[in-house]
Structure 1
Amino acid sequence: MADNMGEHLLNRINYPADLHQLSEEQLPEVCAELRQYIIDVLSENPGHLGASLGTVELTVALHYVFNAPYDRIVWDVGHQAYGHKILTGRREAFHTLRKFGGISGFPNPAESEYDAFIAGHASNSISAAMGMAVASALKHEDRHVIAVIGDGAMTGGLAFEGLNNASVNPNNLLIILNDNNMAIDHSVGGLSQYLVDITTSQAYNKMRYDVYRGLKKIKLIDDDRRDNILRFNNSLKALLTQQHNLFEGFSIRYFGPVDGHDVGYLVKLLNDIKDMQGPKLLHIKTKKGKGFKPAEESATEWHAPGRFNKETGERIIVHKLNEPQLYQDVFGHTLVELAEKDKRIVGITPAMPTGCSMTYMMKEFPDRAFDVGIAEGHAVTFSAGLAKEGMIPFCNVYSSFMQRAYDMVIHDVALQKLHLILCLDRAGLVGEDGATHHGVFDLAYLRPIPNLVISSPLNEWDLRNLMYTGYMIPDGPFVIRYPRGKGEKSDWRNEMQILPIGKGRKLRDGHDIAVLTIGPIGNEAIKAINQVEQEGISVAHYDMIYLKPLDEELLHEVGKKFSRVVTIENGVITGGLGSAVLEFMADHGYTPQVKRIGVPDRFIEHGSIPELYKLCGMDADSIAGVIRQMCTVSDQ
């Protein structure tokens, strides 16, 4: 944590009300101290560094001008909001960020009344803030509502749905577009280029505001005639600047771009526009990683850098000899191997090429790898279009984010039985990012969809084998889900082979109890079985590999032979593997005692993977305890 704070201004700010006691001249010093505090803490306790460094001045200005929590500040993607947390009662707890039992890395109303809306995924701020603004109007409350959205999040379709709705319903919403020309990886698409190119005169904005005030003063403008005035303003601006403004095309009053690191000017501008009637958008230009040179120079690498030396900028990375690869890297290298053999193979990801290691494909085959921006639904349907024309897409989406493309999986992929491979990275519990990012629902939400093959590898060899199987068998959409982090094998580059669809395998024979697992969580089961077998309990272990179609031959064997069955999955137990096994047993007249182990029916907090496994009873010790209890109770 920061030390030697002495009488620094930040020490005097516990809540925004304390910030209001300072003069505007003191705000630059507050910004400097806040930025350094974030650097100090995150150098020892890893988190998302670059985005929050870029929003320091905006955060201070917002809390100086507005009266949170009565005024609602809705952050789009919580990566921007570390400064907000520090200024809203959580400075002393900031060192617990993303730790088990500590504060969340994202805004969460359950944690603080200053967090107006949860913000784990991108592009929802405008819609949520629009709802709040309309609710305030209906209740006749004099409340300001502000949505802070990053330029990367503006590539999401939900953001445009919100903009479109804001333009037609009466509201006084303020949208702040934080334009740093950088999401996590570089922003892509026409909108990104538009934000780079756009120029709007500050002098013009001042003139337009003066005209607005003058017309309102002589009662030539009122709320009922706002659209007419906006059309006049937009036409005047187009004439003077020889350009059309995208946002004013939505009938939203536009201001900017302005320097997002000039806290004094931001305060003035926010005070000038906050009481304007109707929706408005303030476009600020910021630099991701501002104030920490290494983060400014390499924004992607410093998005979430882990521990680092705050003096030298050196990242502290511990390399172990013969360490297993990250699952994402196994995916990335394997995709390149397959693409070298078949020109029909293409790669698609929604804004996460570094996170899912699509970067390897982009380097080797730049014309066959596509980052479509924060647009998961488009990524899936784009892949479907590619597949319809004979290409073989590997569409890689984080499991938690695939929820946003559920309709597209059903209607655009499964219904047409298209040959494409959906790779769900970060499946299962993901650790410190918490409830908004845990990929625990995919097995349950995908299982009811016809025509899907749903699989999960026990280890890196099987990930490669499943990618090869999905590529080689052109019989419809093929889903592979795998976790964040490292696997089990340092010698991961095996000779790929087809894993017969719908066939599991017996890893160990036994006669007391059967354990059925799917995916890498099976390795925790292996540890547990090793424990209890030393105590004389004989366990049969089946790796299902496929959730759909299920290996019915294997399940008939289990149903006939065992009266005690344990199912284990790194996903919600409601609707997943355990539910599928129970359905099979009931349908075929088997009556074993079945214990399901997985994520319980609640949202799981943030923490390390071992902590969360233990919390959910999915760690080796907990699994061993369940096996012992079942065998002991049944033997009595």
Structure 2
Amino acid sequence: MGQRILDAISSPADLKLLTDDELAILATEIREEIVTVAAENGGHVASSLGAVEIILAVHSLIDCPSDKFVFDVGHQAYAHKLVTGRLEQFSGLRTYEGLSGFPKPEESPCDVHPSGHASDSLSVALGLAEARDLDHGREKVVALIGDAALSGGMAFEALNHIGQVQTPMVVILNDNEFSISRNVGAMVKHLGYMRATTQYRTARDSVQERLESSGPLGTALADFGRNVKESLKQFILPRTMIFEQLGILCTAPIDGHDIGALKETLRMVLDADAPVLMHVVTKKGAGYAPAMRNPEKFHGVAPFDIATGEVKKKPASAPSYMNVFGEALVREARRDEDIIAITAAMKDGTGLSAFAEEFPERFIDSGIAEEHAVGLASGLAKGGKKPVVAIYSTFLQRAIDQIIINNALPDLNVVFAIDRAGVVGEDGPTHHGMFDLAFMRMIPHMRVLAPSNEAELVHALHTALALGGPFAVRYPRGAGEGVAVPHEPEVLVVGKANVVRKGDDVAILAFGRMVGRALGAAELLAERGIEARVVDMRWVKPLDAKAVSRAAKTKLVVTVEGGVIAGGAGEGVLGELARQGLQAPVLNLGIQDTFVPQGKTDLLLRDLGLDAEGIAASIEERLARSR
């Protein structure tokens, strides 16, 4: 194979030396590299393929890292990584000790912030622009945000502020009609109407002609603004021009795969003395046919066969917790017509596809708006329904206030199904579900269940729906433990744990998926003459006070959880011991005061000392010190 242009790119500055035709060739090479690496490692393929030309156009016109290029979510950033000096490391994308799948400032000064959650880019970009203005700087600030992320409340708040302060910055709206599941909401309809209207396209062409024939930049931009703002409103209802009404100049839609058109428009708007929203229309998965046919599948995909696009099959294993939850909720909904399922743009990712198909009138996708989803649930509960809010742990963090004020304070019948709890693997620190145990157990009225296997998950969901009140049920990503799912779920006794292994030397109080690893540690300890009792605590809140007091009679009380130790279940056990006036040596195991990088879950748990060997070693060390 001959020398690629990509191989000669060591920094964004190199892009300035390329013609538009050479940039187009480079875009093809970048897509081939992304597909090749993602086929081995998995990743966010469709969104990154769709944004290649945008990223090349921006980097060819700004001076990164002095100028700032801010990504929203970061799913789109693979091309950015490839042209900012990380080509040699790119084969390690999303792997243990390799490159993060998201922008990460520790990797490159061109990565402005550790993006991973939607809708924050505009706030970050505005902050950078305001800091620049206070220092009388001249840096360019460009934010890239997808149409789905734009539906988030934080993005709307930022747009309102941007329109108010009128500081120069460029917002590139990557309009590809998809988020993870197909986008929903009024904003999408607004963008779709703009794309589809013949008069709008005619006006767009007129704008392009005006730009091409204009004189000095100032006059061109003034004409550009008047043309968009006035002539388009003759054809489209004024209320559809939401960005203009917020005080932000908005371009007509631009082909996001046309390097020349992108650079031409971007060159103009970068010199504007006011905020500009550049509306760019792209195709998710562009350049790779399987991803274009099925962008939802290739949003975040496991390793796949390049020729067919089919995910590489793994050896048969137990069903995933996600699917067990989804099937259990369908069975519950058949028995109770008041059950409503809610998710935030994650129908497939939370296992709710079957529910949505069978009960479409009882399924709600709020879009990327977790705060709204949780607030909506409170209203449904007030109206006599039983909402089940299924959201990844890392994203539920965005709605803590609504959980507390709208749901827990009035003591409503709402179930929070917390998916992807604990360490989740290759998506890294922005996606690990490290904090839900801590923030859920602090909330009055909230009861928290951490099932240890798929059967326990079915019982936990049934218990939450049967007993009512605010409930949290948290479960991990990936395959279950291979335990048979019960046909008839049970209502668990509130605050009662389950002893799964007897032993009187040490008591291991384990929560959720850590129960299996605690059992493995107990077997290792037994080989060394230490008999460990393993207790599946089931309830994080309320704790089983009797199980805690019995544990205090052993040589060492050990707590093991898959979240942060600070404020977590282990500290709850310490508090319970204090309330009972009991004194006992305690070892809290969990995630220390650190963020966890990306990598295979087993490797990360090993590094955290939360695999069977690590738990056993920590217990032995503590016992040795006690002697």
Q: TM-score, normalised by structure 1?
A: 0.94
- State how far apart, in whole Å, the 1-side matches of 2:237 and 2:579 are: 70
Counterpart of 1:555 in structure 2 is: 548
Q: 8 Å contact 1:208–1:233 — kept in the other structure? A: no
**Aligned partner of 1:404 among 395, 398, 403:** 398
Alpha-carbon distance in 2 for matches of 1:210, 1:50: 32
What SS does the corresponding residue of 1:25 show, helix, strand or coil?
A: helix
Give the direction of change, closer, same or farther, for the CA distance of 1:592–1:498 in structure 2 (3 Å limit).
Answer: same
Query: 2:515: which partner in 1?
Result: 522
Q: Which stretch shifts more, 301-310 or 515-524?
A: 301-310
Amino acid corresponding to residue 253 of structure 2 in structure 1: P
Alpha-carbon distance in structure 1 between the residues aligned to 2:491 and 2:331? 15
**Does residue 10 of the first structure (1) align with residue 14 of the second (2)?**
no
Q: Provide the residue aligned with 1:284 in structure 2.
A: 280
Q: Which residue number in structure 1 is paired with residue 609 of structure 2? A: 617
Equivalent residues of 2:378, 2:414 under 8 A apart:
yes
* Matched residue, 2:204: 202
CA distance in 2, matches of 1:562, 1:588: 16
Q: How does 1:450-469 map to 2 (within 5 A)?
A: 450-469=444-463
Cα-to-partner distance string for 1:224-278 (whole Å, 9 max, x where unaligned): xx9xx97997345312555541111111000021110111111111112210110
> What is the distance in 1 between the residues matched to 2:42 and 2:170?
32
After superposition, where does 1:523-602 map in structure 2 within 5 Å?
Answer: 523-559=516-552, 561-602=553-594
State the distance in 1 between where 2:491 and 2:139 align. Answer: 60
Between the aligned partners of 2:210 and 2:404, the Cα distance in structure 1 is: 48
Partner AA of 1:237 in structure 2: L
SS across alignment from 1:289:
coil
Equivalents in 2 of 1:258, 1:266: separation in Å?
A: 7
- Answering whether residue 138 of structure 2 is matched by residue 146 of structure 1, we say no
Q: In the aligned structure 1, how far is the partner of 2:414 from the partner of 2:89? A: 46
Corresponding letter in the other structure for 1:486: A
- Structure 2 CA distance for aligned equivalents of residues 137 and 54 of structure 1: 32
Q: How does 1:419-438 map onto structure 2 within 5 Å? A: 419-438=413-432
Name the aligned partner's letter for residue 44 of structure 2.
H
CA distance 1:181–1:566, change in 2 (3 Å): same
Inter-partner Cα distance in structure 2 for 1:208 and 1:120? 39
Once the two structures are TM-superposed, the CA of residue 563 in structure 1 deviates from its matched residue by 3.5
**What are the within-5 Å matches in structure 2 for residues 362-377 of structure 1?**
362-377=356-371
Alignment-derived partner of residue 472 in structure 2? 479
Q: For 1:213-224, what aligned pairs fall within 5 Å after superposition?
A: none
Long gaps (5+) in structure 2: none
User: How is 1:287-436 mapped onto 2 (pairs within 5 angstroms)?
Assistant: 287-320=283-316, 323-436=317-430
Q: CA deviation at 1:209?
A: 6.3
1:134·1:170 contact (CA, 8 Å) conserved in 2? no
Tell me the distance in 1 between the aligned counterparts of 2:46 and 2:527: 50
Give a deviation string over 1:415-450, Cα, whole Å, max 9, x none: 000011001000001111110001111111122210
C-alpha spacing 1:107/1:91, structure 2 compared with 1 (3 Å): same
Residue 631 of structure 1 deviates from its aligned partner by 3.2
Question: What residue number does 1:190 align with?
Answer: 186
Equivalent in the alignment of 2:168:
172
The answer to whether the aligner puts 1:68 opposite 2:45 as a matched pair is no
Tell me, in whole angstroms, the C-alpha distance in 1 between the residues paired with 2:574 and 2:20: 65
- Does the aligned pair in 2 maintain the 1:325–1:492 contact within 8 Å? no
C-alpha distance 247-217 of structure 1, shift in aligned 2 (>3 A): closer
Instruction: Give the aligned residue type for 2:59.
Output: H
Quick check: 1:95 aligned with 2:91? yes
- Counterpart-to-counterpart distance in 1, 2:321 and 2:387: 19
Higher alpha-carbon deviation: 542-551 or 205-214 = 205-214
1:445 equivalent in structure 2: 439
- Structure 2 residue identity aligned to 1:589: G
1 CA distance for matches of 2:247 and 2:602? 51
Structure 2 vs 1, CA of residues 356 and 115 (structure 1 numbering), >3 Å: closer, same or farther?
A: same
Does structure 2 conserve the Cα–Cα contact (< 8 Å) formed by 1:324 and 1:492?
no
Distance 2:100 2:477 in 1: 19
Distance in 2 between residues matched to 1:16 and 1:439, nearest whole Å: 34
2:621 corresponding residue in structure 1: 629
Unaligned stretches of 5+ residues in structure 1: none
Counterparts in 2 of 1:245 and 1:595: CA distance versus 1, 3 Å: same
Q: Deviations over 1:554-576 (max 9, x none)?
A: 222223x2241110000000111
Q: Secondary structure of the residue that 1:353 maps to in structure 2?
A: coil
Matched position secondary structure for 1:79: coil
Contact 1:447/1:454, CA 8 A, preserved across alignment: yes
Secondary structure in 1 aligned to 2:17?
coil
- Report the equivalent of 1:234: 229
1:210 offset after TM fit, Å? 9.1
Shift of 1:318: 2.1
**Separation in 1, partners of 2:235, 2:213:** 15
* Distance in 1 between residues matched to 2:506 and 2:577, nearest whole Å: 15
Asked if the contact 1:421/1:478 (under 8 Å) is kept, the reply is yes
Q: Match for 2:232: what amino acid?
A: K
Please give the per-residue CA displacement for 1:374-409, whole angstroms capped at 9, x wherever unaligned: 000011111111111110111001101111000000
Aligned match of 1:501: 494
Partner of 1:374: helix, strand, or coil? coil
Question: How has the CA–CA distance of structure 1 residues 621 and 386 changed in structure 2, closer, same or farther, with 3 Å as cutoff?
Answer: same
Where 2:280 maps in the other structure, the secondary structure is strand
Cα deviations by residue, 1:25-57 (Å, 9 ceiling, x for unpaired): 311111111111111111122111111000111
**Cα distance per residue 1:139-186 (max 9 Å; x no partner):** 111111001000110111000000000001131110000011011110
Question: Are 1:325 and 1:490, in contact at CA under 8 Å, matched by a contact in 2?
Answer: no
Paired residues of 1:376 and 1:405 also in contact (CA < 8 A)? yes
Residue type matched to 2:207 in 1? Answer: N
**Separation in 1, partners of 2:153, 2:359:** 28
Q: Distance in 2 between matches of 1:600 and 1:131?
A: 31
Alignment RMSD (CA, Å): 2.1
Name the SS for the 1:90 alignment partner: coil
Would the aligned equivalents of 2:424 and 2:477 in 1 still touch at CA under 8 Å?
A: yes
Distance 1:158 1:211 in 2: 38
Where does residue 78 of structure 1 map in the other structure?
74
**Does the aligned pair in 1 maintain the 2:228–2:252 contact within 8 Å?**
no
Aligned residue type for 1:614:
R
SS of 2:172's equivalent in the other structure is: strand
The 3 A distance-change label for structure 1 pair 391 and 230 is same
Report how far residue 630 of structure 1 moved. Answer: 3.0
Q: Deviations over 1:282-322 (max 9, x none)?
A: 111111111111110011111222222223333312241xx
Percent identical residues: 39
Structure 1: distance between partners of 2:483 and 2:574: 36
- Which amino acid letter does the alignment assign opposite residue 395 of structure 1? V
Q: How many residues align?
A: 620
Q: 1:103 and 1:461 mapped to 2: Cα distance?
A: 36
Counterpart of 2:596 (choices 591, 594, 604) is: 604
Aligned partners of 1:521 and 1:570 also within 8 Å = yes
Residue type at the aligned position of 1:168? Q
